[in-house]
Structure formats: structure tokens, C-alpha cells
Structure 1
Amino acid sequence: MKPRLREPVLLANDYERLIGWYQQVLGFEVADRFEDENHYCVLKTPTGEKLGIALASEVGVEPQDRSRNTLVLQIQVDDVKSALEEVEAGGGKVTTPPMQEEKTGYWFGAVTDPEGNPCWIVSGDYS
């Protein structure tokens, strides 16, 4: 077996709203949509990374406290401060304000999308 990792999938309570938020606030584009039997959307960043969004109720999931998720999306941007401002203006929540690691100059912060899914917003290479 040679497994390959595919796009992570967020299970949404409000499918259309979450797709729209990732498009409008983070600039993702719809790469594909499947809505015949179940709702599933593949979003793509401008650099080609993919994120799936599915309707939670169709897979028998009732998301609860998403702040306790054991999986966190990590999104790299050029300007962490500006990105966090845009997330907040677009209906997300800043959970960790922008900070800079003194040794490397690496910037980071944390947000949640409108459904509470945690995301780390980071600058470039931290090495």
C-alpha cells in the first residue's frame, strides 16, 4: 500500500455559509462540487492546496465544541496581522493575536471560522 494524503474535510452545519466564508475571506476557489446524493465541495487555495467541506448531517455527525478538535488547519499567509484582521471582519474569531517568535522572526496567530473550526495563521518558513 502506498497511501497518499488527500484534502482534509470540514463537516459543516451550514454547508453553503462555510463554503462562502472560505471563498470570500480566505480567497479559496471552488475546484469541484458534488451534490447529487450528498453535499461535498472541494475548495482550492490560489497555490493549489485543497480543503473539502461536507454537510455534517449527511454523514451522521453533529459537531459540538469545535475548539476541542484534535485537527487544526494551518494556513500560510504573507501578512499574519492583516490576515487576522480580515478573518475577524469576515465573521471569524481571533483566538490568539498575532505574535512574533523572537529567535526566527516567524509570525503566527490563531482564529476560528464561523463554525468554530480552529485555524493557525502563520507566516513563511519557520526554520
Structure 2
Amino acid sequence: MAKQQTRRGGKWLDPNNVSGRRAERYCAICGAEATEVRILKHENICEDCVKRLREEKDGKYACKACGKIAPKQLEENNGYCKECVCKICGKPDPEFARKHDFCEACFELIGTDCRRCGKEARAQVKRNDGLCDECADR
């Protein structure tokens, strides 16, 4: 018989399966222990605080547009996650950028052309965030 593996993956610490040093984790906002509530592993935020932050969309912990919890991305993009910001100019355009990866202005300008050299390469430009393979390698 094959060994059954226990799953430790996932993004939440479950209070029913926490032991050892993992049991000593606390919520960074309210201070709840990992033995009391589920805690988001990478951010150390409890489930209750995550729900509240998603509703508030404060721009510090949760994206101003979609409510995604990603503090590092929000710090880099002035309160927006990377999915809600244009990959070329960095301006927030949540509705259009989530669908096309670019804001409307940049999408019209670039379309299928590399933003550095101007070479037309639709698939390469899409794969490399606006650059052809040669410019992406530089």
C-alpha cells in the first residue's frame, strides 16, 4: 500500500491541525492565536480580519479596487494589486487592466508592438508584458 501524505500546503493555518511552533503564530492586526482561528500564512492575518479588510479596501492590506490581500504589491503600486495596474505605465485602471493587462491608453498605443523596439510580435508582447523576446532578454 502507498503511504498517504498529509497535506500541509494551502494558504491557511487551520486551528485543528496546528502544533509546535506554528501554534505560536498570531494575527498581525488583532492578535488572535493560530489555535483559535484560521490564519493566512504569508501575511499572518486571521480570517475575520481578512473579511473585514476585503470589505474596507483600505489600500494598505487590501487592494482599493478588488479587495485582494497582498500588502507587498499594494506598497509597490500605491494601494492597488498588480492585476489592477497597467503593466506598462503603472497607472491604476482596474476594470480594463484585469481583462487586458494594460490600461486603455497603453493598449491602444502598443497593441501588438514591442514597447522598446517597435517590432510587431503579438504573442511575444503578450507573454513578456509588452516586450518582444529580444528586449525581454536584455
Q: TM-score range by the shorter chain?
A: under 0.3
Higher normalized helix content (fraction of residues): 2
Structure number with the bigger relative contact order (C-alpha 8 A, sep ≥ 6) is 1
TM-score by length of 1: 0.25
Larger Rg: 2
Higher strand content, 1 or 2: 1
TM-score (norm 2): 0.23
